[in-house]
Structure 1
């Protein structure tokens, strides 16, 4: 099938298919009908030094009707453990790796088209993404990036009037996802379980060359993946993010948040919160994410056993808890205005989390309310708590602790506690507007999430908590 290439398009490279033959299938995108622009992330485009404008040429290329020069679309093959059960039949079922663009600093970024149609790995799926889930990924990835949480990014979102059947009839969309690498734990698992040690070795070498040049061998590569994963999960827990589907095929080797589906940020502080309605046993409940990530790393260790000795794998895994605990302590301390943290501060943080959970306080507003006040003003918050005495004891302990620091904790805390928060009910209101063809609220919410620590009057609605009678329902994987 012949495709037109925009005359002004930049040249892409295709290192993955060139260096890793036999690990993918070449597939041309299937264009969506009557495409139109929903969102173009100009800030990301500028960061990438990308000579592309949101014009008709780009619309064709990012809706499946055209290709940029140098792109070689492929569907990658991988596998994974889904809810703890091995599944060898996974791969890019609705997305295609288009190619790699190098920014002004020479760093390569993979462009991935989500919703690009059926592939050999679609199984019974239609290969499409829908507008609803694409908006949710756009909002989430930009919100996470602005909070300093490692994540894939969303460059462009294209809408369409093409009907797609999910729980109900919806409209198709295509989202362009950008990240240095789409390699997952499940890539290594597939080659290991299918007895292809040469492919495991080739994949490790590819990662060392292009993504982990600081690592000298597979053991150091594994150590780095462990540490990045530990820091990522600490970020999730510190900012109340629940992924919902932490299968090994959704775990990035880069330690980035990957594959947004039925995710949610906490509203009320509920440690065992479940955001995925298919997760009947609560395997991926919010409070279980640190242990699940470790379980997933054990799966990766097993997949790398042909390349790394057992002692080195064990040593790498043993690093996880220390890295996670230290990073979580640092992040939570900064949210409370503290920088000189030690193990004694763990009790202070634990008591705060217990207090929030026992009263199901709003996770984000509780932190920001502290951040917006000097310690002597925290008495204003006493009546917000049912157990006033418990809060008074805790705030007094934090105030005393803040006095031992040399710096003012208010600016630090305000720079770590968002005003505008990605909430399920607000995202849904934006989606409802988009279904009617209005994208104004989407653009405004996106702007607020991209500057989450900034307070603006016109962004007030994006800092509101849910109505008292609102209870977030678990979401489906099509979310």
Structure 2
């Protein structure tokens, strides 16, 4: 951007905000060499070089603001005057008026398998197909935030799609990304939600008249849906798939590919691994291995956090795996209700590769994918460096995961650091958690653990497992327990009651507080989100606002909302297409 253009942009009501841009990605990395020639870069095409493409996004027609995250607006230093201004509405509806906007290319692997289709350009057309960054900003608290508009119109990576997002998916993303933050799960944040008065696009979805089904199937009709844009925020949107892209370029022998990979990784370290920056010049391969180790820890923590709150990402490909360790790209996600260890709502995952209890394996696969991407650079160092990288993937990640999961199990079950059912830490997973897999089938995951969080020492002292199971069945079960499941759950409850009763290092007050702080009472169940987005289609934002407020404190009791939202999925929505299962059509 020319200096005079930049000066003009910072004169308006958003001037103080725009003046805090620090677009390090544009400064550190290389543009697509065809960027200027093909500007505004709204046509699908192969992008063969560079780390980013500047674009001019396509503004929404007749935009109106639906929601703002108060927390994020304060963090960003956005005043109410700014939020209420036309300049704000313009910028966050993709009318960027010369503010630098860019999108990035990446590669895609699904559970470790490289994917080049349905990209019409044989792997050179994957990237931000309907999202663009509108700057990196230093917030009021000194933190650095990259802002991205999802639904900004087509980019070179749109693969001939329209580049839009719809209100249905945008409501889901806004509410859930903010809920995840308040649930204590690493996540991108939502800043704003803007929709169009007049603009619609066709999307595949389910007919309202489609009955409940015992099997999953993709959408069965096309319908017009209102366009919308969510602004999401993160420290960066740097991802495993980007490193993978530059490794593939290097493998094809493309000129400058090695330098492009190194440049990208050094930028990632400056932004997401700053503690490693001082060592870049003195021990590059060793720094990369340390970077891999940090990524492994972040992924172990993230996958465990998802398990803790009952979240299923649905699509955990390498392009959705941020190096920061944040959850991103809320598409075919869901919160588990009627428990099954391999549950996922995503109809495009019939093999359940990304099912609930397999997500930690998918995270390890993404760590392995990143290790593979940096291997050409590791091979230039000492052989021990490459061996250490392999060890991190093979042994380091499982050890980190075990630490994270043991802490989660103790927190969800109210056990002190010294309590365990066997002689070693492995017994927590093997003897206390895994037996729940068959015992919890058709139990509501959230309600089961929240009700367990209300069990007092008076109940514990009676050591009556059948009574405890009867209470949990009454409040959390979707179907009456059969004899085999009842026996399994009673055996588990007996073990838990004994452990808690003998745990002298955990007072009742501390146990209940710990469990209630780790077992949420409210999560964004899909039938709730459906209520919010269907009302929003008719400009009724009551359900949306209620849920936005509720999810700011999802561990609190909220007795006034208990009857409405602390409940099992209504019978009318059980196995309902578009609620129990769906595609990523958004």
Calculate the TM-score normalised by the size of structure 2: 0.77
Q: How many equivalent residue pairs?
A: 475
Map of 2:209 onto structure 1: none
Is the aligned partner of 1:197 residue 2:258? yes
State the 1:389 CA deviation. 4.6
**Per-residue displacement from partner, 1:31-56 (whole Å, max 9, x unpaired)?**
10111111100112113333442432
Question: Contact conserved, 2:344 with 2:352, CA < 8 A, in 1?
Answer: yes
State the 1:391 CA deviation. 3.5
State the 1:191 CA deviation. 0.8
Question: Contact conserved, 1:241 with 1:266, CA < 8 A, in 2?
Answer: yes
State the SS of the aligned residue for 2:346.
coil
Is the aligned partner of 1:48 residue 2:76? yes
- Long gaps (5+) in structure 1: none
Map of 2:213 onto structure 1: none
Select the residue among 514, 520, 527 that pairs with 1:418.
Answer: 520
Map of 1:407 onto structure 2: 506
State the 1:345 CA deviation. 2.6
Segment drifting more, 81-90 vs 241-250: 81-90
Map of 2:534 onto structure 1: 432
**Per-residue displacement from partner, 1:86-122 (whole Å, max 9, x unpaired)?**
2223111101011111124432110001111111111
Matches within 5 A, 1:17-416: 17-21=26-30, 22-51=50-79, 52-67=82-97, 71-82=99-110, 84-87=113-116, 88=123, 89-160=125-196, 161-167=198-204, 168-195=223-250, 196-215=257-276, 216=279, 217-308=287-378, 309-317=385-393, 318-340=395-417, 342-346=425-429, 347-357=431-441, 360-377=442-459, 381-383=468-470, 384-385=472-473, 386=481, 387-402=485-500, 403-408=502-507, 409-416=511-518
Map of 1:16 onto structure 2: 25
**Per-residue displacement from partner, 1:262-293 (whole Å, max 9, x unpaired)?**
00010011112121112233222223222222
Map of 1:7 onto structure 2: 12
State the 1:24 CA deviation. 1.1
Name the CA shift for 1:388/1:276 in 2 (closer, same or farther; >3 Å). Answer: closer
State the SS of the aligned residue for 1:451.
coil
**C-alpha separation in 1, matches of 2:296 and 2:260:** 21
**C-alpha separation in 1, matches of 2:186 and 2:412:** 18
State the 1:388 CA deviation. 4.5
State the SS of the aligned residue for 2:375.
coil
Question: Contact conserved, 2:150 with 2:165, CA < 8 A, in 1?
Answer: yes
Q: CA RMSD in A?
A: 2.1
State the SS of the aligned residue for 1:17.
helix
State the SS of the aligned residue for 2:518.
coil
**Per-residue displacement from partner, 1:133-182 (whole Å, max 9, x unpaired)?**
11111121111111111010001000113111111210100110100010
State the 1:404 CA deviation. 1.4
**C-alpha separation in 2, matches of 1:312 and 1:121:** 36
**C-alpha separation in 1, matches of 2:531 and 2:202:** 21
Name the CA shift for 1:281/1:396 in 2 (closer, same or farther; >3 Å). Answer: closer
**C-alpha separation in 2, matches of 1:220 and 1:67:** 41
Is the radius of gyration larger for structure 1 or structure 2? 2
**C-alpha separation in 1, matches of 2:141 and 2:71:** 17
**C-alpha separation in 2, matches of 1:355 and 1:198:** 53
**Per-residue displacement from partner, 1:226-263 (whole Å, max 9, x unpaired)?**
11011111111222211111111111111111111100
Question: Contact conserved, 1:445 with 1:462, CA < 8 A, in 2?
Answer: no
**Per-residue displacement from partner, 1:428-453 (whole Å, max 9, x unpaired)?**
11111011111111011111112101
Map of 1:456 onto structure 2: 558
Name the CA shift for 1:393/1:283 in 2 (closer, same or farther; >3 Å). Answer: closer
- Long gaps (5+) in structure 2: 31-49, 117-122, 205-222, 251-256, 280-286, 379-384, 419-424, 474-480
